[in-house]
Structure 1
């Protein structure tokens, strides 16, 4: 696995806010030079509860990561990332360059489940007079196909329905942690925050990095000469082989441009008399008491179960010493989650309002987290459940599996022995008088190094323990 340091975002990130700015000219030049581009799009999250919620939300940001050969051939390919602000740039000015790039046979387009993005993007442009929108992206490679090839799981052209998330793919192939907590932020608000800019750029840029890993994998297997570059006039046997085996295209049909009937039946249940049906009431406020409270037979120790959408919150809770479990299966059904919460006397934390419709099955065991960012979510949970957090609790649980630590710390010699074949202890720690703590469940080793101190300072600040 490559080191995360080798996959840093290029700097600067080019933000295109108008068709008269220098960044717009730079974008057009880069598109003409590019041989591979990574694509992604963002839009304001839809709220199904809003009566005017459109099935095709307007795309407000288009991310384009360009890869092209540097002027000096020995420097290898160069990458640049552009964020095209579709609220600022006149769509008519950027429509033709984007359409030409989408349809150019000389540019490989990369995306992650990009068809939905293309539908929304096409609708955004066509409703602003840029008819007929976008109908074709070719040649196109879905990153999921590349992932399956590299993981030797699937070499078919079509993606499995059990495709992993982009964050998981990046973690497994690049060794980086790609946070998705800003995915549902308001992408129509301007100016974009620095966090949104970094998030948006990463989603497009890491598609190029995954593709580079794929190329190197083919070279290492001898399927193409390493000296042949992407930009060679003979198109490179490697690139031709990739396009032959994995190349695809996205073609939008007229039916794709017609809004689907998204009206969902309201879940109903029979009333006590059995003659009438009534809507299941959904309450998003915490009612209490929590199942761990002594008044209802609990042990007094807070315990939570975080669904897959807020896995980051689970790790934050563990960092402040709170027992926070994850679902026992990767794609749990609502009843599975509720059963796990009930059996383990946990409160289920979720951002999925649909789960609240099942809360009558496990009274006072479901809470909808309202905040979007992990730090804010942590503060919200602490305040809602009136959790007592002290500095002594920080970093007292295993962030990997939620386990507890052994009572007696290990010496460096004991830690090295315990880590054999499992975990590498950096040699720079050998001369330091450090204590090592071992998780009793997954056996992960921890020590009080620089990362530990930074983490403690971070959560002291978030939880306001110094106030």
Structure 2
């Protein structure tokens, strides 16, 4: 599927002082927004007895006057540079304003650290709540396709996965663990940080549009029966390269809130008139639906005194039956690589490199697949150490992990596990290639299914064959029909691929990462 990186559609302002044009735009946007997306970045201080200080606060704002879902402003508030008292009261009021819908992804921890950061620099008592608040995970559980008559359990997925499924956007998380306390921020860090806040509002737009469509079609919001596949989640532009993806337009949220909940919006009514005679006409049915959205999904984050104290580990220390020398020996074995891997023919292997990536390096699995290396993930979402080792043994794979706890288990087999040292996926890929002396060629790139690790069928499909194979499973954009493309089908999960813009971009990316052109 072809994607457009929607991170480029929002204006990004870096706010570093209260006497700058960026600060003026930031103040105006916060006081004239109906929906905002919130996120924060900080440098982790694992093992410390205090909270880390938040370095950057990201806020994506959708203004009252905006009529285009792509017209968003994203502000990166540099909390290391700006005087915190200049934004403290503004943020505090917005966090509890009933006329502003706040969006986030597991935002409670961010709020704890924000409150701590402001308190440490004299802005007491910090922040204690955010309302009305809607978590993007709740919206995702409503949007995802449902099978009639089957109750699907709620799932907890990463923000990157939710963005890909709802918006068709590949949201990179490679810079998540970068040093956010270092200044100046790189352009890549700014784009990464802005994208996390921006996508929250875009996902809300899709959610809002879906509810509006269902209301117009006569469905009862309390007893919705979504179709198996909602074409409104991903709407393709008819263009030559079919590389654009846009969200469905939706009724302006600020007017919805003001019309459906006038008792909560007196402050807005005093500063801005509502024009319901033009593009903001909302029929009664839609009003009722959006009112129910606020009533049904509006929530709050409320911090307790216990939330403001760093959690300290109280685990009892256990005596090792093998002693410190044996434990150190185990650490030495897995901290560096010794001897042949389990796929080595001399050990009874088939000679083809294979890896098992645990949940801590799951992104590395996709990168390995992109360069043609067999990389599996655990059978279950929460495997224990014994399950991981059993799977690696059974399939003759090397287990890749960053989990230091795995090193403590006595039943680990020599050369069956490798601890990845790098944090970023590109660097992890290079580390594995160099450690295991893998030979990567350009012909191998994009030769495996990135979704399930399966192999492709040997013979490509024609457009007609691909259309037939995709029925009830995958949508092929109409703009591809006249291009005489070849389609490739995964033999395991039946996912279809074609050589579009995304394919060529990915090939060039891994040529550069693996240094194949040197």
Structure 1: gaps of 5 or more residues: 154-159
Q: CA RMSD in A?
A: 3.1
Distance 1:106 1:4, change over 3 A: farther
Distance 1:432 1:16, change over 3 A: closer
Residue deviations 1:179-229 (CA, integer Å, cap 9, x gap): 2222222111112222221221111111111222222222122279x8775
TM-score w.r.t. the length of structure 2 is 0.79
* Count of matched residue pairs: 451
| Structure-to-structure mapping, 1:297-376, within 5 angstroms | 297-358=348-409, 360-376=411-427
Alpha-carbon distance between aligned partners in 2 of 1:423 and 1:309, rounded to the nearest angstrom:
30
Contact 2:343 2:354 in 1 (8 A): yes
347, 371, 374: which one aligns with 1:296: 347
Contact 1:19 1:90 in 2 (8 A): yes
Distance 1:227 1:252, change over 3 A: closer
199, 207, 210: which one aligns with 1:214: 207
The aligned residue for residue 98 of structure 1 is 91
Alpha-carbon distance between aligned partners in 2 of 1:302 and 1:77, rounded to the nearest angstrom:
44
Query: Is residue 51 of structure 2 the alignment partner of residue 56 of structure 1?
Result: yes
CA apart distance, 1:429:
5.1
CA apart distance, 1:382:
0.5
Residue deviations 1:33-80 (CA, integer Å, cap 9, x gap): 1122111111102233xxxx2441111111111112227xx6579421
The aligned residue for residue 386 of structure 1 is 437
Alpha-carbon distance between aligned partners in 2 of 1:214 and 1:262, rounded to the nearest angstrom:
40
Contact 2:375 2:453 in 1 (8 A): yes
Secondary structure of 2:439's aligned partner: coil
Query: Is residue 44 of structure 2 the alignment partner of residue 45 of structure 1?
Result: yes
The aligned residue for residue 12 of structure 2 is 13
TM-score w.r.t. the length of structure 1 is 0.86
Distance 1:263 1:60, change over 3 A: farther
Query: Is residue 111 of structure 2 the alignment partner of residue 118 of structure 1?
Result: yes
Contact 2:456 2:488 in 1 (8 A): yes
The aligned residue for residue 23 of structure 1 is 22
Residue deviations 1:336-364 (CA, integer Å, cap 9, x gap): 22211111111111222223333742322
Contact 1:7 1:174 in 2 (8 A): no
Distance 1:247 1:263, change over 3 A: same
CA apart distance, 1:297:
2.4
216, 234, 238: which one aligns with 2:259: 234
Which has the bigger relative contact order, CA under 8 A and spacing at least 6? 2
Residue deviations 1:88-147 (CA, integer Å, cap 9, x gap): 111122111111111222212111111111111111111111111111212222222222
| Structure-to-structure mapping, 1:61-460, within 5 angstroms | 61-70=56-65, 78-151=71-144, 162-222=155-215, 230-231=254-255, 233-235=258-260, 237=287, 238-265=289-316, 269-271=320-322, 282-283=331-332, 284-358=335-409, 360-425=411-476, 434-460=485-511
Contact 2:5 2:170 in 1 (8 A): no
